């Protein structure tokens, strides 16, 4: 009996293990990762349908798909006042239409890269769905490129608008007839357009109104009308596949999503059209369109207070939209003595910085302030406005430290690197206002072999910035120097004092620097030649009235770019555009390199002297290799 029980237990355990093993599903191993995007197998109506007046679109795929940020990416041309609802139902993407469709109109639905498969995340790029409410599908197209007017980069989140009505007011008040997006390279294409004469605009739409109704929105416009004729026949771009092609039959697929890790049979599951599909996501290619637009932010015309903040307990900042010109920008704290604080204005007087010098004042978490400034009302009349603004500062919670150390006053100087360029002044910068330095504790020596020779100097405060001082003295090329500041020689208005410091530095020989000469040719008129670093930060600039040589001496070794601003009004700066007066922004161009074989960037090595000729007759040129391609736009 005992032996029979043992045999039964053994057989029962084996049976349980066998059942569990059979029930467990494991993913087959091996096989390449599927990189094929979803394929449309049918749609209702068919893509390209005519005389459609329905309320719903259904697009069925060969596999389960998901929508990726579709509310932002999905777009309809012409725009609808009530945005359609896009959602998933089984293997289909459905679109519910709420607006009444216009008669005899071709509608284009742009999904961009908002559809991807469920398991692998393969994106169906630039998918479009088209139908007409009349008997004809409009088949013409408009192509072009749009760039930022100042740096010729591709503007982000920009839409292109096409209007049949030609009055300027239409882009401000009404929706466009056609709309499309700008891709990562600056290229745009508006398809399914009917013949006619149009106005073409670019817009970074801040309020999603599809109109240029805010003055601070980035905007672009064509000087002339755009004439669309049958000569501009619609040719489908290679990356757009319409599902009007006859679909081949294929084996039935399970109605359940494919398990993660399972390889899909591309030959069986994807054989839906005669179009060969790439297995790798394509890189953005810069295409050249017919029309060029240059986007700008218009200069502000209304006076108002942009912002006020108190990020540090002892500092308040107030910023105006425009410099006040001949008007005043005034500040006061009711009930406080004017000695408890002081104000500083920026050089163009549009920013007011308030320093709270008294601890009894800056220790308050809330301070009532009064600001008086120029303000432009809705009628365009500018007069004074006075605001009472409560300025708050929430101090961080104090750490549990038994003894608080006294804060040392810290500042920076340009001699910390150990070198100065010939003619360069010594500059001291801090984050808080300096008190007058104690020059009896400060010494400057010229080092001659083992000897030190005292040099006379002056410390001069910056005229508008209390956080900056200049040391004025005579420094010679190739000489070595020693700067010594004893403890407490520098301090700030909050009674913090510096530690002692000693810094050796020298004035480099000019021969150790680089020099760039650009021979500017083939343009009549004022121009500004700018030298930029690789990140396009301004290094130096030269103002020129006519062709000639722009010389940039004393340059550090590195990679540079050059830009010309065509200074059309001769005011010595770049000017933005103005749609109300139909003034385009001043054009710019970038140095193209000596020829097509060489880079548009300029590499200078230590002690390098370079001379290059630059023909600036072509405006608004920038080598595409210099543009930063924004991924996932």
pLDDT at 447 over 60: yes
What six digits make up the tokens of 424?
């360069």
Q: Where are the domains of the chain?
A: 40-132, 140-238, 313-392, 412-510, 513-626
Q: Compute the distance between CA of residue 616 and CA of residue 549 in angstroms, rounded to an integer.
A: 13
Q: Tell me: pLDDT of 590 over 80.
A: yes
Structure confidence by residue, pLDDT tens digits, 105-147: 999 999 988 999 998 899 998 899 999 999 999 989 999 999 9
Say if residues 562 and 614 touch (Cβ distance below 8 Å).
yes
Q: What is the pLDDT of residues 605-631, one digit of tens each?
A: 988 999 999 999 999 999 998 987 554
Question: Using only C-alpha atoms, what is the Rg of the chain?
Answer: 34
**CATH, range 40-132:** 2.60.40.1220
Does position 403 have pLDDT exceeding 80, yes or no?
A: no
The confidence score (pLDDT) of residue 242 equals: 43
Selection from 224, 180, 184, 187 nearest residue 205 by Cα: 180
358: pLDDT strictly greater than 80: yes
Please check the confidence at residue 470 and state whether its pLDDT lies above 60: yes
CATH of range 140-238; options 3.10.20, 2.60.40, 3.90.25, 3.30.70: 2.60.40
**One fold for both 140-238 and 412-510?**
yes
Cβ 62 vs Cβ 39: under 8 Å: yes
Q: Which pTM was predicted?
A: 0.80
How much is the pLDDT for 270?
33
User: For position 34, what pLDDT does the model report?
Assistant: 72
d(CA 228, CA 197): 6
pLDDT of residue 235: 56
pLDDT of residue 280: 44
DSSP-assigned states of every residue in 483-509 = EEE-TTSSBBTTS-BPPPEEEEEEEPP
CA distance 190 to 107: 11
Q: What is the pLDDT of residue 597?
A: 67
Give the per-residue pLDDT at 56: 96
Helix or strand or coil: residue 630? coil
Which of 309, 362, 310, 372 shows the shortest CA–CA distance to 340?
362
Instruction: With beta carbons less than 8 A apart as the criterion, state whether 81 and 100 touch.
Output: no
User: What is the CATH number assigned to the segment(s) 412-510?
Assistant: 2.60.40.1220
**Beta carbons within 8 Å of 592's beta carbon, 6+ residues apart:** 600, 614, 621, 623
Preceding omega of 78 cis (within 30 degrees of 0): yes
Range among 5-19, 31-45, 391-405 with highest mean pLDDT value: 31-45
Give the model's pLDDT for residue 594: 83
Buried b (16+ CB within 10 A) or exposed e, 515-525: bbebebeebee
Query: Which has the closest alpha carbon to 457: 443, 469, 467, 441?
Result: 443
Of residues 378 and 243, more confidently modeled: 378
Domain 513-626 CATH class label: mainly beta
Neighbouring C-beta atoms of residue 126, cutoff 10 Å: 17
Q: What is the pLDDT of residues 284-334, one digit of tens each?
A: 677 889 999 999 999 999 999 999 999 999 999 999 999 999 999 999 999
Task: Give the C-alpha separation, 248 to 274, whole Å.
Answer: 8
- Stretch 265-282: mean pLDDT, rounded? 36
pLDDT of residue 63 exceeding 70, the answer is: yes
CA separation for the pair 388, 370 (Å, rounded): 5
Beta strand ranges found along 68-222 (DSSP E): 75-77, 85-89, 92-96, 106-112, 115-117, 123-124, 127-132, 140-148, 159-163, 178-181, 187-193, 196-203, 218-221
- Residue 513 corresponds to which tokens in the numbers above? 């620097």
String of DSSP letters for 444-496: EEEEETTEEEE---EEEE-SS-TTEEEEE----TT-EEEEEE-TTSSBBTTS-
**For all residues of the chain together, what is the average pLDDT?**
86
Q: Residue 626 has what DSSP assignment?
A: G
User: Which pLDDT band, with edges at 50, 70 and 90, does 13 fall under?
Assistant: low
Confidence check: pLDDT of 599 > 80 = no
Q: Considering only CA atoms, which of 209, 207, 198, 162 is closest in space to residue 181?
A: 162
CATH of domain 313-392: 2.60.40
Instruction: Report d(CA 121, CA 113) in Å as an integer.
Output: 11
pLDDT at 598: 72
Q: Is the pLDDT of residue 261 over 50?
A: no
Distance between CA 137 and CA 204 in Å, rounded?
29
Q: What is the DSSP string of 226-295?
A: EEE-TTSB----TT---TTSPPPP-----SSPPPTTPPP-HHHHS--SS----SSPPPP-----SEEEEE
**pLDDT tens across 19-53, in order?**
444 444 444 555 567 788 999 999 999 999 999 99
d(CA 519, CA 615) in angstroms, rounded, equals 8
Least trusted range by pLDDT, from 231-240, 263-272, 541-550: 263-272
What one-character-per-residue DSSP string does 332-354 give? E-TTS-GGGEEEEE-TTS-EEEE
Sequence-distant (6+) residues with CB within 8 A of 558 are 533, 534, 603, 604
Output the six-digit token pair for 14: 């084996």
Strand, coil or helix: 549: strand
Whole-number pLDDT of residue 35? 81
CB atoms within 10 A of CB 149: 24
What number of other Cβ atoms are within 10 A of residue 278's Cβ? 11
């Amino acid at each position: 009996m005992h032996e029979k029980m043992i045999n039964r237990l053994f057989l029962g355990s084996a049976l349980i293990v066998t059942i569990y093993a059979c029930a467990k599903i494991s993913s087959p191993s091996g096989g390449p990762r599927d990189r094929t995007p979803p394929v449309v197998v049918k749609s209702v109506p068919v893509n390209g349908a005519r005389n459609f007046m329905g309320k719903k679109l259904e697009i069925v795929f060969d596999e389960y798909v998901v929508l990726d940020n579709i509310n932002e990416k999905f777009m309809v041309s012409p725009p609808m006042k009530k945005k359609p609802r896009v959602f998933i139902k089984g293997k289909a993407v459905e679109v519910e239409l709420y607006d009444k469709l216009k008669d005899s109109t071709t509608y284009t639905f742009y999904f961009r890269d908002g559809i991807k498969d469920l398991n692998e995340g393969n994106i169906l790029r630039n998918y479009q769905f088209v139908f007409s409410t009349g008997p004809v599908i409009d088949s013409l197209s408009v192509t072009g490129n749009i760039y930022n007017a100042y740096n010729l980069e591709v503007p982000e989140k920009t839409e292109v608008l096409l209007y049949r009505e030609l009055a300027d007011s239409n882009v401000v008040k009404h929706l466009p007839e056609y709309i499309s997006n700008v891709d990562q390279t600056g290229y745009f294409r508006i398809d399914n357009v009917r013949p006619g004469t149009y106005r073409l605009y670019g817009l970074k739409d801040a309020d999603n109104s599809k109109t240029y109704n805010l003055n601070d929105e980035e905007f672009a416009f064509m000087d002339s009308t755009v004439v669309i004729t049958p000569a501009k026949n619609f040719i489908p771009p290679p990356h757009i596949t319409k599902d009007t092609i006859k679909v081949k039959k294929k084996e039935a697929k399970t109605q359940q999503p494919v398990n993660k890790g399972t390889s899909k049979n591309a030959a069986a599951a994807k054989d839906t059209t005669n179009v060969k599909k790439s297995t790798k996501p394509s890189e953005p290619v810069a295409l050249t369109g017919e029309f060029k637009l240059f986007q700008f932010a218009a200069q502000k015309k209304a006076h108002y207070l942009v912002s006020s903040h108190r990020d540090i307990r002892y500092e308040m900042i107030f910023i105006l939209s425009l410099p006040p010109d001949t008007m005043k920008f005034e500040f006061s704290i009711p009930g406080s003595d004017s000695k408890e604080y002081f104000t500083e204005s920026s050089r163009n007087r549009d920013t007011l910085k308030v320093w709270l010098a008294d601890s009894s004042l800056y220790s308050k978490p809330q301070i009532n302030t009064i600001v008086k400034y120029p303000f432009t009302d809705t009628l365009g009349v500018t007069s004074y406005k006075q605001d009472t603004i409560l300025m708050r500062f929430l101090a961080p919670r104090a750490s549990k430290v038994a003894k608080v150390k006294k804060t040392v006053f810290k500042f920076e100087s340009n001699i910390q690197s150990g070198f100065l360029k010939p003619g360069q002044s010594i500059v001291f910068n801090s984050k808080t206002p300096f008190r007058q330095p104690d020059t009896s504790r400060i010494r400057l020596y010229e080092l001659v072999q083992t000897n030190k020779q005292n040099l006379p100097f002056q410390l001069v405060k910056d005229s508008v910035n209390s956080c900056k001082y200049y040391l004025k003295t005579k420094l010679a090329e190739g000489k070595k120097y020693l700067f010594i500041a004893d403890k407490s020689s520098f301090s700030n208005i909050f009674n913090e004092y510096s530690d002692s410091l000693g810094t050796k530095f020298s004035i480099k020989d000019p021969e150790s620097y680089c020099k760039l000469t650009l021979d500017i040719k083939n343009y009549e008129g004022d121009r500004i030649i700018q030298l930029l670093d690789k990140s396009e930060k301004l290094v130096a600039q030269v103002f020129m009235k006519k062709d000639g040589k722009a010389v940039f001496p004393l340059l550090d070794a590195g990679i540079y770019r050059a830009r010309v601003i065509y200074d059309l009004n001769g005011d010595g700066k770049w000017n933005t555009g103005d749609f109300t007066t139909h003034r385009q922004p001043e054009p710019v161009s970038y140095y193209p390199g000596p020829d097509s074989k060489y880079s548009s960037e300029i590499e200078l090595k230590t002690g390098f002297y370079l001379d290059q000729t630059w023909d600036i007759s072509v405006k608004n040129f920038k080598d595409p290799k210099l543009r930063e391609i924004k991924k996932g736009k």
